[in-house]
Structure 1
Amino acid sequence: MTSLPGSINPETLEAAVATGVITAAQRDQLHALDRNGRLAVGGDDESGEENLRLIGGGNDLFVTVGTILLTAGFYFVLITLLPGQPMWIAALVALFSWAVAEIVTRQHRMKLSSTVLSLFFVAAFVVALGLEVLERYPIRTPESMWQLLALRQQVSGAGYLFLGGVMAAVALYFWRFKVPILAGVFAIAATLLAFLQTALLLYDGVAAGSIAPPRLEDMPELLRAALYMPLICGLVVFATGVALDIFDRERRKVWSDCAFWLHVVSAPMLVHPLFIMATGQDVVMGRIEPDANATIMLAVLITGFVYVALAIDRRSLLVPTLAYFGSLGIYYLVNSAANTTGIPPFALILLVIGALVICFGAGWQHIRRLIIGTTLPTSVLDRLPPIKKA
């Protein structure tokens, strides 16, 4: 077993067993903790920081390049040997990625290489399963509304098989290799499955007569009501991420890295519906009225997301929020100033977002200690990621 950067050397552990410092069972427990993603003694973990253990060093980056070249070479070989059989090619690429991961991930725990291999596996499996589902449930473009309504059974069967299969494969791969990014992939697949189930329930309600079919003039309100679905899914994914953060509040296990990706996935699903609902944005045309109420609600949303991100110590929740508000919301807030000063709105947006990113990046822990440490009770702080001392 090779030693991980910052971990106890295996030879040292064997010498400790030989001299009676620790028992063989304790040595095996240390190895198990290392494989499960916990940083070993002497690691580079820094309490209070949102460390994303994505790159394991220069050797990891070197192996990642080799992994990409190896997989690409294998893919082109398959194209030559199996022309016109994309499903088999994708399936073999998925199996090949799994086999390489047995060495790169399972034995050596190379972080970036493991992430790339997991994405190769998911992409290849999705293609293979998608082609199999399309062959089993041929779905043609409907030419009329009646043909669209008649596709219910095909769409439901294909959707359940495809999304369920992806979730099962991702869960199996994660169980074997503990790659954190797969938590985000699983969350996306589960969200799509929730959307599919909601659409089918609405279809069944309309078909049974318990739900009135929408009229054309009801479409804007219907689209606005549809925002509750991504909002609910975003809250579920966010709550799962927070639960993992609480479970691993010292951020020494793989679960905190999984939480990072869950927050990345949940942020857009939370920000977009809340922004539209709070500001009165036109769902169809993508416009808002830059009045006083929209300005106030936008400021409240930004403040709320900043506070939550500080509380759970997750910049991964704040960055998509600032990016979204910067591209859609802050433009309307600074547009009036641009009209009076002649400064391009894009320049003002860059100034505002850049200042916020630098401010929170450079003084994150100080701001967190100042705001969160003084506004939340000790009983809550004891369950959140610890606040780094000055």
Structure 2
Amino acid sequence: MIDRDDLRAAVGSGLIGEAQAASLAALADSRRGARENLAPGDEPFELFKGFNEIFIVIGLLILASGWVAIAGITMMGEITNYQLKIASTSVFSAVAIWILAEYFIRRRRMIAPAIALSLLWTANAGSGITAYFAQPFMLAQEDLSSLPLPLALTTLTIALFWFRFRVPFSMALIALGLFSLTIMVGANQAGTPNNFSDLFLLSADGPFAFITLAVGLAVFAVAMFFDMSDPHRVTRRSAQGFWLHVVAAPALVNTIALTLLTSETELAYAILLAVLLLFAIVAIVIDRRSFLIAAIGYIVTLAGTVFDGENTAIVVFVLGIFLVVLGAFWARIRAALLEPLSGILPLHLLPPSH
């Protein structure tokens, strides 16, 4: 790996100029970001590089709020052609967001503003496209058949934003858009779910929980594709995989765990504990803690369901000790777990153990 001494030597020998060396050093710093301070085996996670990014995000949110208020006041009382007016306002807003993204994402390579602009782009595209294509009279009668097209187009615009700016967080928005689209198509075919839990209960009426499980598996597969293409986690592909895991893990854990938890049988509780242990092993093997985060809540819920108050407190206390120890010795535990799997799994495509 080329360090700054190598760059100085290259400048001294005349291979490159000082300006080129400075540009290379700046590029390396921007790509490495906070990763250089991570311990071996730690999982990179960046939301912002400095408080200036938070300051800019606050400014963007205030700017967006003011613009929405101005647009709302302008269109207030004008019922005629409201769909066209909202759509045209969204087009103008999209141009403004795109210009801001060119500066803050492409040029300044800021992380927090990139996330904020991705959210603003999604909200703007969703509101404009839905206002133009959705049929309010059908929605008033709980007819959702006019919504799949706006959802599909909104997801496509998010994909367009991702192709241009490669914001890792946008991958999570694309996954959520596809999930919403498939749920909406299922609702048009089988009727709307009775409540939110039907999206995760395999025993509930309708295909919604099976859709959630299928989408979760698909998103997990794409996340693993990004992870395995960057096992050392030095590029944005790893960050894209991280955000996809954030979407996939709750979809998988919630569907299986909630279904077993509502069975209220000792066998179901035993299976649930085994499934959660399996998710923990998967999380350690692929070196992604998001699966454990999604499962922790169900372990606490399971303890509260099976045991009384005093025993629940003990289980939660032991769980806390387990998580602290696991976090402190994650790398060693992972190395010990991967050693017997060396002949089964393609370890060269996974993050190296330390």
TM range (shorter): 0.7 to 0.9
String of CA shifts for 1:164-202, please: whole Å, max 9, x gaps.
111111011111111111101111111222334445566
Shift of the 138–348 alpha-carbon distance from structure 1 to 2, 3 Å rule, reads: farther
Aligned length: 334
String of CA shifts for 1:80-124, please: whole Å, max 9, x gaps.
444356725554444332222221111101101111111111112
CA distance in 2, matches of 1:172, 1:32: 28
Matched, 1:243 2:207: no
Deviation, 1:20, is 2.3
CA distance in 2, matches of 1:227, 1:289: 19
1:313 maps to a residue whose letter is: D
String of CA shifts for 1:121-162, please: whole Å, max 9, x gaps.
111221112211224x741444xxxxx7xx5xx70xx23321
Question: Corresponding residue for 1:295?
Answer: 269
String of CA shifts for 1:295-347, please: whole Å, max 9, x gaps.
321221111000000011001121012123323x2322333xx3xxxx384x4
Tell me, what secondary structure is at the counterpart of 1:139? helix
Matched, 1:75 2:68: yes
User: Conserved in 2, the CA contact under 8 Å of 1:90 and 1:128?
Assistant: yes
Question: Corresponding residue for 2:332?
Answer: 366
Shift of the 78–227 alpha-carbon distance from structure 1 to 2, 3 Å rule, reads: closer
String of CA shifts for 1:211-258, please: whole Å, max 9, x gaps.
xxxxxxxx9956386532211111111111011100111111111111
Question: Corresponding residue for 1:309?
Answer: 283
Question: Corresponding residue for 1:125?
Answer: 125
User: Conserved in 2, the CA contact under 8 Å of 1:105 and 1:114?
Assistant: yes
Question: Corresponding residue for 1:55?
Answer: 48
Instruction: Name the stretch that deviates more: 293-302 or 194-203.
Output: 194-203
Shift of the 356–379 alpha-carbon distance from structure 1 to 2, 3 Å rule, reads: closer
Question: Corresponding residue for 1:351?
Answer: 317
Matched, 1:177 2:165: yes
Matched, 1:167 2:140: no
List alignment gaps of at least 5 residues for structure 2.
Answer: 192-200
User: Conserved in 1, the CA contact under 8 Å of 2:212 and 2:252?
Assistant: yes
2:279 maps to a residue whose letter is: F
User: Conserved in 2, the CA contact under 8 Å of 1:8 and 1:40?
Assistant: no
User: Conserved in 1, the CA contact under 8 Å of 2:190 and 2:207?
Assistant: no
User: Conserved in 2, the CA contact under 8 Å of 1:290 and 1:333?
Assistant: no
Q: How does 1:70-149 map to 2 (within 5 A)?
A: 70-83=63-76, 87=86, 88-135=88-135, 138-142=137-141
List alignment gaps of at least 5 residues for structure 1.
Answer: 1-6, 143-147, 204-218, 282-286
Question: Corresponding residue for 1:334?
Answer: 307
CA distance in 1, matches of 2:242, 2:202: 34
User: Conserved in 1, the CA contact under 8 Å of 2:54 and 2:112?
Assistant: yes
Which of 254, 258, 268 aligns to 2:236? It is 254
Q: How does 1:132-281 map to 2 (within 5 A)?
A: 132-135=132-135, 138-142=137-141, 155=145, 158-199=146-187, 223=205, 226-277=208-259, 279=260, 281=261
Matched, 1:39 2:39: no
1:368 maps to a residue whose letter is: R
Tell me, what secondary structure is at the counterpart of 1:227? helix
User: Conserved in 2, the CA contact under 8 Å of 1:93 and 1:124?
Assistant: yes
1:100 maps to a residue whose letter is: L
String of CA shifts for 1:356-384, please: whole Å, max 9, x gaps.
43232222222212223344437622221
User: Conserved in 2, the CA contact under 8 Å of 1:271 and 1:321?
Assistant: yes
Identity %: 25
- Cα RMSD of the aligned pairs, angstroms, is 3.8
Question: Corresponding residue for 1:322?
Answer: 296
Shift of the 40–220 alpha-carbon distance from structure 1 to 2, 3 Å rule, reads: closer
Tell me, what secondary structure is at the counterpart of 2:134? helix
Deviation, 1:288, is 3.4
Tell me, what secondary structure is at the counterpart of 1:105? helix
CA distance in 2, matches of 1:21, 1:265: 45
CA distance in 1, matches of 2:162, 2:274: 38
CA distance in 1, matches of 2:324, 2:33: 32
Shift of the 295–178 alpha-carbon distance from structure 1 to 2, 3 Å rule, reads: same
